[in-house]
Amino acid sequence: MSAPTLEMTTPAEAPVARSAEDDLDRALDIFLAHRTRLFRIAYQVLGDVAGAEDVVQEIWLRWQLTHRPRIENPEAFLTTATTRLAINVIQSARHRRETPAEPQLADLVDRASQDPVLRAEQAVAIEEALALLMARLTPDGLAAYVLRKGFDFAYADLAGLLRISVPNARVLVHRAQARLAGDRERPVPAESHRRLVAAFQTAAGTGDLKGLTQLLAPNGLRTACRR
C-alpha cells in the first residue's frame, strides 16, 4: 500500500485547525458582549479603574482556559467569576494596604483611550464614581473633592472658589474622604447627575474646567479656566 500523499492528508487535518480558531472566535465574541458589564461589576467592588481593568483581563484569560462547551450560561459564569475575583482582590492584604477606599478620579481623567470599548468602560466608571460622591458628600465637599482629587486643584484655588480659608479647604477635602468610607447616602437626582457627568467629561477631555467649576460652585468668587 502506498504512503498517504500530502493531498490525501491535508483535507482531514484542516477542519480541526479551523474548528479551534472558530471556537476561540466565539469565545471572544461572547466575552466582548459582556465586557463593559464585567468592568462595571469589578469597578463597583474595587472603586479603582486600573484594578477593575486588571480583573477583566484576568477573567478573559480564565475564559480562554475554561472548557466552554460545559458552560450553559456564559453571562452568569463570567459575572460570577468577575465578582469573586474582585472580592478576592479587595480582601487581599496588599489591596487593603495600598488602595484607597474612595474612587480614583485622577485615573478617570488621565486614562484617555481611542479604544471604543475602553472609552465605554471609562464612561461607566465616571458615572458610577460621581453617583457615589453625590450620594455621600455635601455640595461643598463634592466640589472640593472632585476638583482636588480629579484635577489637582490647589487648596488656595479651592478656598477662593468656595469662599473659605485655605485650612478650611484642607479640612473639607479630608472630611469628604472620611464620608466616603461610611455608608450614609442621600438620593441622587438623575438630572443633576447627568449634568455633573457631562461637565466632568468635558473638563477631562478638553482641560477647560470653567463649566465644571460653575456647576460645582455656582456662587464662587472665581472660576477656573484652562489649567
Among 7-16, 49-58, 135-144, 204-213, which stretch is predicted with the lowest mean pLDDT?
7-16
The confidence score (pLDDT) of residue 100 equals 47
Residue 64 pLDDT exceeds 50: yes
The confidence score (pLDDT) of residue 51 equals 82
Residue 121 pLDDT exceeds 70: no
Pick the closest to residue 217 from 170, 135, 150, 157 (CA basis).
157
* CA–CA dist 107, 103 (Å, integer): 9
* CA–CA dist 162, 200 (Å, integer): 18
pLDDT grade for 7, boundaries at 50, 70 and 90: very low
For residue 1, the SS3 value is coil
The confidence score (pLDDT) of residue 10 equals 42
pLDDT tens, residue by residue, 8-61: 344 444 444 445 566 788 889 999 999 988 988 888 777 777 788 889 999 999
SS (H, E, C) 69-123: HHCCCHHHHHHHHHHHHHHHHHHCHHHHHHCCCCCCHHHHHHCCCCCHHHHHHHH
- The fraction of the chain above a pLDDT of 90, given in percent, is 28
pLDDT grade for 214, boundaries at 50, 70 and 90: very high
* CA–CA dist 17, 182 (Å, integer): 54
Per-chain mean pLDDT for the chain = 78
